[in-house]
Amino acid sequence: METNEYCNYRSPLSTRYASKEMQYNFSDQKKFSTWRKLWVNLAKAEKELGLEITDKQISEMEANVDNIDFKAAAAEEALTRHDVMAHVHVFANLCPSSAPIIHLGATSCFVGDNTDLIIIKDGLNILLPRLAAVIKNLSAFADEYKNLPTLGFTHLQPAQLTTVGKRATLWIADLLMDERALSRARNDLRFRGAKGTTGTQASFLQLFNGDGFKVKALDKRIAELSGFEKTYPVTGQTYSRKVDIEVIAALAGFGATVHKMCTDLRLLANKKEIEEPFEKSQIGSSAMPYKRNPMRSERCCSIARHIMSLYSNAVNTHAVQWLERTLDDSANRRLTLAEAFLSADAVVLTLSNITQGLVVYPKVINRHILQELPFMSTENIIMAMVKKGGDRQVCHEKIRVLSQEAAAEVKQSGRDNDLIDRVKNDVYFAPILDELDKILDSKTFIGRAADQVGEFLEDEVRPVLDRYQNELVSINVPVQLII
């Protein structure tokens, strides 16, 4: 059988959904070149603190950071059954003068865990500006439609009116919480540093002849050279997998937000009130050419569910890390961390595309309002009659009877709501007939919705977007049209 790239499994996260930037962040090239950078930083810090390491050795290593022979490393690993030592040997072959000091005093988790922390930090730095771009898109949408009344729904049943813009602020508010959680997870990250095989730094204490101050300085200096201000003060062989829980929890929370928002958009698309972008040549169904399926929102919901499911992996992995560590975290984390970030990246890019081109149909929205507004206006009609000298209880009973009759027409006969016509034809309500248009003005039913939108965007959203002003660029996403 002839083999080619299509004969092997390829993750759809790489082939269809995630960005090149996030794919590179979890690539072998990024991983193993970061290992080599960490060996360079270790050598630099050890040299600064007095070990006999030369500038030539460091320069030799720096010159070969990106020069990785993956086939040679795979061959070495097949012999040694140890990925870190395989790469130590391959790197040492490239840097013969540096061979004696590569990985000096370190354990496998020095490169493994510290690299994971760098990749996690870089992954969050990729996601956060893209999330901010989505918030910016939705903020413009909310501001544009802050005055457009629409039916509110509780229990998926028509309720008091809100506005299209106000509803959008509910989505934004959740996204702001995600921005806070992801930022906090990033800012709380520390470096594992140089902690040794069980976290006691015993090997480094031997290297520095029992000088604990130099060992502490080494730990701090390696973190600084690697872009971190602090290290975790205590670790076992690994940094606590509780850190992974905090990161995955923030990503899973973002997934929940996206799922809720995109479900809302799918419901609104069903009502033909709001639609996601739809290209002129896009096909909604192979059998039903008239269909305009909300496929981007469906994609977001689909991938978001996967992100949410990964949280259970993180908590279960941490729960079984016996004593100073076990190795049953390794294979699981290779899957969970990468897929959580790649999935979140795919979702935020798709969401950016959706929020750049939402289409609103005000006339459809108003038609739906008119089907329900007569019922909602009954209290206002009663109050208007009372102001004209009417008896509230008498008016209430008349409205109740007319409302039941109109509801029967809607439910049993499929006709439009004719409650207002019934009110107009009842002489009892003659005193307020000239006020009915004002009473039925949908904008009198939206409360402070428009003001709330303006206040929310100014007080809550603007400060967050200001933090990203140098990174906020329009993300034009060529979202693929096949799920």
CATH number of the domain enclosing 410: 1.10.40
155 is an active site residue:
yes
Give the structural domain span for 89. 22-101
More confident of the two residues 398 and 130: 130
**Distance separating alpha carbons of residues 251 and 437, to the nearest angstrom:** 49
- Same domain (yes/no): 130, 39: no
* 141 and 29 assigned to the same domain: no
pLDDT surpasses 90 at 12: no
pTM above 0.75, yes or no: yes
Is residue 477 included in any domain, yes or no? Answer: no
- pLDDT > 70: percent of the chain: 94
* 58 and 148 co-located in one domain: no
133-176 pLDDT, tens digit per residue, is 999 999 999 999 999 999 999 999 888 899 999 999 999 999 99
Q: Are residues 167 and 315 in the same domain?
A: yes
Q: How deeply is 19 buried, as exposed, middle or buried, from its count of CB atoms within 10 A (0-12, 13-18, 19+)? A: middle
Type of residue numbered 215? V
93 plus 26 within the same structural domain: yes
Q: Which of 452, 447, 402 is nearest to 423 (CA)?
A: 402
pLDDT, residue 472, reads 77
CA distance 306 to 346: 12
Asked if the structure places residue 331 within a domain, the reply is yes
* Catalytic status, residue 285: yes
pLDDT bucket at 375, cuts 50 / 70 / 90: confident
Question: Do 260 and 391 share a domain, yes or no?
Answer: no
| 172 and 139 in a common domain | yes
pLDDT at 388: 85
pLDDT at 281: 46
Integer Cα distance of 423 and 437 in angstroms: 12
> Is residue 14 domain-resident?
no
Nearest to 106 by CA among 29, 60, 34, 38: 38
Give the alpha-carbon dihedral of 6, 9, 15, 20, to 10 degrees. Answer: -120
100 contact partners, CB below 8 Å, separation of at least 6 = none
Residue 251 lies in a domain: yes
Which residue is catalytic, options 155, 281, 286, 413? 155
pLDDT category at 372 given cuts 50, 70, 90 is: confident
Instruction: Decide if 2 is inside a domain.
Output: no
Nearest-angstrom CA–CA distance, 18 and 134: 16
Predicted confidence (pLDDT) per residue in 411-439, tens digit: 888 888 888 888 888 888 888 888 888 88
CATH of the domain at 48: 1.10.275.10
Q: Average pLDDT for residues 217-231, to the nearest whole number?
A: 96
Question: For the domain that residue 194 is a member of, what is the CATH number?
Answer: 1.20.200.10
Query: For residue 218, is it within any domain?
Result: no
Tokens encoding 433: 């007939």
Same domain assignment for residues 263 and 152: yes
Distance from CA of residue 345 to its chain's centroid?
7
- Give ∠ CA 103-109-112 in degrees, rounded to 5: 90
pLDDT band at 483 (very low <50, low <70, confident <90, very high): very low
Residue (of 356, 361, 451, 352) closest to 143 by Cα position = 451
Give the integer Cα–Cα distance in Å for 437 and 186.
Answer: 55
Cα–Cα dist 310/340, whole Å: 7
| Angle (deg, nearest 10), helices 108-144 and 449-456 | 140
Is there a single domain that holds both residue 247 and residue 332? Answer: yes
Shared domain for 294 and 177, answered yes or no, is: yes
Whether residues 177 and 247 share a domain: the answer is yes
Which of 11, 285, 312, 474 is flagged as catalytic? 285
- Domains contained in the chain, number: 3
SS3 sequence of the chain:
CCCCHHHCCCCHHHHHHCCHHHHHHCCHHHHHHHHHHHHHHHHHHHHHCCCCCCHHHHHHHHHCCCCCCHHHHHHHHHHHCCHHHHHHHHHHHHCCCCHHHCCCCCCHHHHHHHHHHHHHHHHHHHHHHHHHHHHHHHHHHHHHCCCCEEEEEECCEEEEEEEHHHHHHHHHHHHHHHHHHHHHHHHHCCECCCCCCCCCCHHHHHHCCCCHHHHHHHHHHHHHHCCCCCECCCCCCCCCCHHHHHHHHHHHHHHHHHHHHHHHHHHHHHCCCEECCCCCCCCCCCCCCCCCCCHHHHHHHHHHHHHHHHHHHHHHHHHCCCCCCCHHHHHHHHHHHHHHHHHHHHHHHHHHHHHHCCEECHHHHHHHHHHHHHHHCHHHHHHHHHHCCCCHHHHHHHHHHHHHHHHHHHHHHCCCCCHHHHHHCCHHHHHHHHHHHHHCCHHHHCCCHHHHHHHHHHHHHHHHHHHCCCCCCCCCCCCCCCC
Is beta strand 149-154 parallel, antiparallel or unpaired with respect to 274-275? unpaired
What would the pLDDT profile of 275-314 be if each residue is shown by its tens digit?
A: 998 655 444 444 444 457 889 999 999 999 999 999 999 9
Dihedral sign of CA atoms 342, 343, 345, 350 in order: positive
Residues 254 and 125 reside in one and the same domain: yes
Sequence-separated (6 or more) residues with CB below 8 Å from residue 273: 150, 360, 361, 364, 365, 368
